[in-house]
A and B are shown apart, each in its own frame.
Chain A
């Protein structure tokens, strides 16, 4: 919503403030000013002048030399111009030496304006410049009386008769104005109008609000003799007011109206259209004009469209309308889509004689949904969508008829046809002023509060302590709404600043979040940087990861109205975001990249979705070109260690489609799967266009969180020395270190302290299909120094057990 300052001042005549003061005060009382623009910010020293004489330029065919009178006393200056449209006697805007214009005559604006200095044009002195409307920063759209090419000429427009030479051309053109842009919240429907904003401005500055006085209009005839109105869908049309105007005389509207429309960004067209638009801005009430001679039976019926109906709107577009869409019809046919756009068949043309004016109130939600369905977005629709006050309709149409008479645009027929089945009346809200103070934390007295209400035309019943709310304030329904009215006029800035008192509460973070935070810490200390990726992705991800067709992870929570197929399914695997990020880094030639994400996956419990899906946070880590499987395993174990789970970790064979078949494993803690890790399958790496060897690990946080333990107990530092034996063996290749360690641990008994692999070798010295491995096995007792006789039987047991696995011991 935009308004000019001058239009606001028309209804708040006492208002005296700078643009910035206006913007600040309005914003702080709840009518947020998003910004403002002075129309004359780049205009300076521009006056009204008159061309007294024109001579040819001695040295240039296309230039003329003008003697321009710049005051009433007869002072003349010489100006050379190339403009084709001026003649002696023309009154024009003149920028004097040292002044500024906003841009060139091609309509291009220059930041800060263009400075005009006196000088010589082809040897002839020129002391200023005559201006086109474009040079003044505007356009022919907003000043239809401006010539297509050349200087703006006041004297061609009778509206400027009597204009004084030497006076400001900026004021004469209405350019000494400021345009404010507001952000109106959707609860303040009344503020989508100049009247509404002016009412707020008056209250904000404690000035009198002077709305237009609407006089009775019309001749001795009756509108009801011209037209009959019937509402067949009262749920969608709360009120329909019709008035009739005959003997229409189309003409341009007066300058003041053109200027006000232009300041709101609306192009002046002719008196009829302009009045309609003017009322829509002034009162927020859209109106429509029909050529009454096209209305069959002189009857208006408001009803839902017929199924399968096709309708041509006045812009020539054909629409399919259905039973959900409200139509304005005559006795035979549809003549308009209610609240959105009129029909081609009934539109006003130059030859119009008699016209039906419509001011109605339609259901906002229905208009919004209809507009969406039809793919239409008109100014009228935007107003109706908010849900208008039906009581404005009559006021607005009477104001329009008043303007018709004032402008001489036609003869208004007396009376109106008003179908208003359930007139909306003002309502009452009980007011507890002490509660207002309790909620705000203020000590405002009751009288002051009531004075705030009165400023914005909220009535007050002293006996009942009730606020009487006018129908345009449909947002004021309860005590809380009154609290806000008090707060905004008292001033949010004047409300004290305190901290909550009362019972203290414990600040804390859930156990789940604590473990997640730990995961971040561990990932980061292992060199992984934190990534964040979208929760939704393309279903193609599953193919990129080569997931089998029947994999359960292909069952997704799917968005009905996604931004596109690529953002249509909620992820069931945390990998795609991370791999995509690794890929971006790889393509940008970032070396050795390590990323992690705490990514949520969304697993539906059943499809179609009846209850909320299982949302699980998973820690996913990935890197390329900076390590191998065992580096990733180290990061995983560092985390498991941190959450007290490392003691019982095992790795079991796995078969994830997107991992290298020989380099992947499930991570098992105390018999439960907590995640997996491995090298990215070369095909998957190709699919993501990552050239380096990529390793990933995924840890399911809910499982880890449930099993985690931070219960640390100190065990004394060993007092007695350990005894260590080295064991060297030749083993079939497929026997895993894990299996050997398990055998050693099982057979060594309680004295075993550790067994550590310290050498592994495959190659020329070892026979084909075998590997050599060497372990250091350490024993310790808490109560004595171990002797050979303690160790030997244990070693024998270990050797025997290993022997059974077909392991050959080496000396």
Chain B
């Protein structure tokens, strides 16, 4: 009996070793392990075995069965692996074919620049506020220390709706509105659309955007203004950016300044972009005029503050090297898709 089982085992294993495909494997399985298979027939002939030997023989049959089954499994796995291998070989693709991207829209360069500024100032504890675009003459001029008939009113080429109401020429009226309604400390930026009667060309638009900033508190200094805007310039144009403050005049700040940043194209050496000077003018700023504080109900003896105004389009044009302002309002998708 034992010899018979050994013979079955040896012949089964040999056949399995030699098997070349799954069909053969199944035939071998039926031949040895099937209902009419060789092992089954050994079990069927158990009655010829002495009763006391039967458990031992049964054990032997099971051992042989396990060995065959294990081998069967092993061969089957190696077939599967081989098959998968072949399948994958047939599935080689050209990874350099074009990518399929989700069809996502693009943000306007103005908005991208504004988002960046807002992130910076919110991080510095500023609140973002808004004011009306159709505004009273009072807020746009008078409350900003620009009295009637002041030449500054002409220079700004104001669009009027009627004698008292106009399209704001600057976001500065937001300063007044915030000061009227808020107790210091005040830290706000007010982005928004402004209007001036400029004919449309490569560098002018009758409708553009500014971002106004205002800080009012006890002991706010010109040094604080410089520090804040220097950080801002680094955020916007890179860590190596240097700033320069030049005296200037705005009716609603005193002292006033304009801020230049080192040309981000040549790093300050001078190039065509910065017209050889190494510097690019980006914003106007100053200490809020005590008269303006007073008119807005803030005691200039107790509080001081600074304000600044940035032209959003100017930043966007500079940052992205856009050479014609009209592109910003044409909305050609070949332009928008670059941002």
Chain B residues within an 8 Å CB radius of A481:
254
Identity of the chain A residue whose Cβ is nearest the Cβ of B149 in the assembled complex: A365
- Report which of B159, B187, B222, B247 forms a contact with A29, defined as CB distance below 8 A: B247
Which of B48-56, B66-74, B92-100, B117-125 contacts its partner?
B117-125
Bound-complex Cα distance A615 to B135 (A): 11
The interface bits of chain A over 513-526 (1 if a CB of B lies within 8 angstroms of the residue's CB, else 0) are 10000001001111
Chain B residues within an 8 Å CB radius of A385:
151
* Docked-complex contact B215 and A500, CB < 8 angstroms: yes
Chain A residues within an 8 Å CB radius of B128:
508-510, 513
The interface bits of chain A over 488-523 (1 if a CB of B lies within 8 angstroms of the residue's CB, else 0) are 100011011111111111111110110000001001
Chain A residues within an 8 Å CB radius of B217:
500, 502-503
* Docked-complex contact A503 and B129, CB < 8 angstroms: no
A368-B151, A507-B123, A529-B333 as given contacts; A30 in contact with B130, CB under 8 Å = no
A557-B134, A560-B162 as given contacts; A524 in contact with B224, CB under 8 Å = no
A609 contacts B by Cβ under 8 Å: yes
The interface bits of chain A over 472-484 (1 if a CB of B lies within 8 angstroms of the residue's CB, else 0) are 0001001111011
B235 contacts A by Cβ under 8 Å: no
* Docked-complex contact B224 and A602, CB < 8 angstroms: no
* Docked-complex contact B105 and A439, CB < 8 angstroms: no
Which of A184-192, A259-267, A639-647 contacts its partner?
A184-192
Bound-complex Cα distance A603 to B120 (A): 34
* Docked-complex contact B223 and A441, CB < 8 angstroms: yes
Chain A residues within an 8 Å CB radius of B246:
27-28, 30, 32, 492
Give chain A interface residues in 508-550, CB to chain B under 8 Å. Answer: 508-510, 512-513, 520, 523-536
* Docked-complex contact B151 and A581, CB < 8 angstroms: no
Give chain B interface residues in 157-196, CB to chain A under 8 Å. Answer: 159-162, 165, 167, 185-187, 193, 195
The interface bits of chain B over 243-262 (1 if a CB of A lies within 8 angstroms of the residue's CB, else 0) are 01111110100111100000
B323 contacts A by Cβ under 8 Å: no
A567 contacts B by Cβ under 8 Å: yes
Chain B residues within an 8 Å CB radius of A119:
none
* Docked-complex contact A527 and B105, CB < 8 angstroms: yes
* Docked-complex contact A497 and B223, CB < 8 angstroms: yes
Best-surrounded residue of A188, A493, A498, A536 (most CB of chain B within 10 A): A498
Within the complex, what minimum Cβ distance (angstroms) separates B229 from chain A?
9
Within the complex, what minimum Cβ distance (angstroms) separates A664 from chain B?
23
Which of A8-16, A586-594, A799-807 contacts its partner?
A586-594
Chain B residues within an 8 Å CB radius of A560:
159-162
* Docked-complex contact A483 and B255, CB < 8 angstroms: yes
* Docked-complex contact A508 and B206, CB < 8 angstroms: no
Identity of the chain B residue whose Cβ is nearest the Cβ of A608 in the assembled complex: B162
The interface bits of chain B over 65-97 (1 if a CB of A lies within 8 angstroms of the residue's CB, else 0) are 000000000000000000000000000000000
Chain B residues within an 8 Å CB radius of A369:
149
A480-B255, A492-B245, A612-B165 as given contacts; A500 in contact with B224, CB under 8 Å = yes
Bound-complex Cα distance A510 to B188 (A): 11
- Report which of B161, B197, B255 forms a contact with A609, defined as CB distance below 8 A: B161
Give chain B interface residues in 206-251, CB to chain A under 8 Å. Answer: 206-207, 215, 217-224, 226-228, 230-231, 244-249, 251
* Docked-complex contact B105 and A524, CB < 8 angstroms: yes
A30-B247, A557-B161 as given contacts; A499 in contact with B228, CB under 8 Å = yes
Best-surrounded residue of A187, A500, A558 (most CB of chain B within 10 A): A500
- A contact residues, total (Cβ < 8 Å): 89
A199 contacts B by Cβ under 8 Å: no
Within the complex, what minimum Cβ distance (angstroms) separates B158 from chain A?
8
Bound-complex Cα distance A386 to B151 (A): 8
Chain B residues within an 8 Å CB radius of A525:
104-105
Chain A residues within an 8 Å CB radius of B248:
30, 32, 185
- Report which of B127, B244, B330 forms a contact with A508, defined as CB distance below 8 A: B127
Chain B residues within an 8 Å CB radius of A368:
149, 151, 154
B328 contacts A by Cβ under 8 Å: yes
Identity of the chain A residue whose Cβ is nearest the Cβ of B184 in the assembled complex: A503
Chain A residues within an 8 Å CB radius of B244:
493
A736 contacts B by Cβ under 8 Å: no
Question: What's the count of A-B pairs with C-beta under 8 Å?
Answer: 248
Identity of the chain A residue whose Cβ is nearest the Cβ of B223 in the assembled complex: A441
Bound-complex Cα distance A519 to B248 (A): 40
A692 contacts B by Cβ under 8 Å: no
* Docked-complex contact A496 and B223, CB < 8 angstroms: yes
Within the complex, what minimum Cβ distance (angstroms) separates A51 from chain B?
41
Best-surrounded residue of A186, A480, A560, A581 (most CB of chain B within 10 A): A480
* Docked-complex contact B197 and A613, CB < 8 angstroms: no
Chain B residues within an 8 Å CB radius of A512:
130
- Report which of B127, B220, B231 forms a contact with A506, defined as CB distance below 8 A: B127
A386-B151, A498-B221, A609-B165 as given contacts; A563 in contact with B206, CB under 8 Å = yes
Give chain A interface residues in 140-194, CB to chain B under 8 Å. Answer: 185-188
Bound-complex Cα distance A475 to B268 (A): 34
* Docked-complex contact B185 and A439, CB < 8 angstroms: no
Bound-complex Cα distance A560 to B159 (A): 7
A600 contacts B by Cβ under 8 Å: yes
* Docked-complex contact B105 and A526, CB < 8 angstroms: yes
A480-B290, A500-B215 as given contacts; A533 in contact with B331, CB under 8 Å = yes
Within the complex, what minimum Cβ distance (angstroms) separates A761 from chain B?
29
* Docked-complex contact A505 and B103, CB < 8 angstroms: no
- Report which of B105, B186, B230, B333 forms a contact with A585, defined as CB distance below 8 A: B333
The interface bits of chain A over 555-592 (1 if a CB of B lies within 8 angstroms of the residue's CB, else 0) are 00111111100010010000000000100110010100
* Docked-complex contact A559 and B331, CB < 8 angstroms: no
* Docked-complex contact B106 and A529, CB < 8 angstroms: yes
Which residues on B are within 8 Å of A, measured CB to CB?
103-108, 110-111, 118, 121-130, 132-136, 149, 151-152, 154-155, 159-162, 165, 167, 185-187, 193, 195, 197, 199-200, 206-207, 215, 217-224, 226-228, 230-231, 244-249, 251, 254-257, 287, 289-291, 304, 328-334, 336-337
15 contacts between A and B (CB under 8 A): A28-B247, A186-B152, A186-B155, A478-B290, A479-B290, A484-B256, A504-B125, A507-B121, A508-B127, A525-B104, A559-B160, A563-B206, A594-B105, A612-B136, A615-B133
Known: A484-B247, A584-B332. 15 other contacts (CB 8 A): A188-B249, A439-B287, A440-B222, A496-B226, A500-B217, A502-B217, A502-B218, A505-B126, A507-B125, A529-B337, A536-B159, A536-B207, A557-B134, A590-B333, A600-B133
